Amino acid sequence: MMGLLSILRKLRQSPEKELRLLLLGLDNAGKTTILKIMASEDVTHVTPTAGFNIKSVVSDGFKLNVWDIGGQRKIRPYWKNYFENTDVLIYVVDSSDKKRLEETGIELFELLGDNKLEDVPLLVYANKQDLPSSLTSAEISEALGLHSIKDRVWQIQACTAINGEGIKEGMEWACKSIKKK
């Protein structure tokens, strides 16, 4: 009986709004790990994403449909197929991968230039802060030139996806930026 009641209660409280979050970034940036942290799943068995993963998470009165698209070069041409109706773009950077900082910047600004992503709030996760060789979020922001972004709201958040540090803070910003819209 209790089970049924709580199910009914949950149904009544069903979130009013569904949102589409798009996770992008180079391969090995940590997109799938972030997705799993959001869904409170184990992150020790992650594999490289061939294609994409999707998970639905309820947070802050929203039902978040999070799309995690593979980041390897061969898959990047498919990214644009997932742009439509995106509410927040989450871009993940491996802060320890200095060699590919330029590459990740180019990919990011190409995304921002796309019509379908016009006005979409941007959250950048400066991931892997636990590694000693990692750049800080301020350094990443500087290197990518985030301050030149004037056409949308954006935020950079330092995080360590494997232990979940910083993920929640980023998501809070994302939910806030949607409410403002």
Q: Which residues does the annotation place in the binding site for Mg(2+)?
A: 32, 49
Tokens describing residue 61: 């009165």
Residue identified by tokens 């742009």 is 83
Paired tokens of 117: 């992503």
> Which candidate in 13, 72, 155, 157 is catalytic?
72
Structure tokens at 116: 């379908």
As measured in angstroms, the least distance from the Cβ of 61 to other proteins is: 28
Least CB distance from residue 28 to other proteins, whole Å?
4
Which CB atom, from 4 or from 14, has the smaller least distance to other proteins? 4
Minimum distance from residue 87 beta carbon to other proteins (Å): 21
Q: Which residue's CB is nearer to other proteins, number 69 or number 175?
A: 69
Check: CB of residue 90 under 8 Å from CB of residue 169: no
Task: Residue 90: name the closest of 31, 172, 164 by CA.
Answer: 31
CB of 109 to other proteins, least distance (A): 21
- Beta carbon nearer to other proteins, 44 or 115: 44
Burial 44-63 (b: 16+ CB within 10 A, else e): eebeebeebbebebebeebe
Annotated binding site: 25-32, 49, 71, 127-130
- Active-site residue, 157 included: no
* Cα distance between residue 80 and residue 99, in whole Å: 25
Please give the annotated binding residues for GTP, written as ranges: 25-32, 71, 127-130
In the complex with other proteins, which residue's Cβ is closer, 93 or 174?
93
CB count in 10 Å sphere of residue 149: 15
User: Which residue ranges make up the site for other proteins (CB under 8 A)?
Assistant: 27-28, 43-48, 50-53, 70, 72-75, 78, 81
Quick one: the chain helix, strand, coil %, rounded to 5?
Answer: 40, 25, 35
Catalytic residues: 72
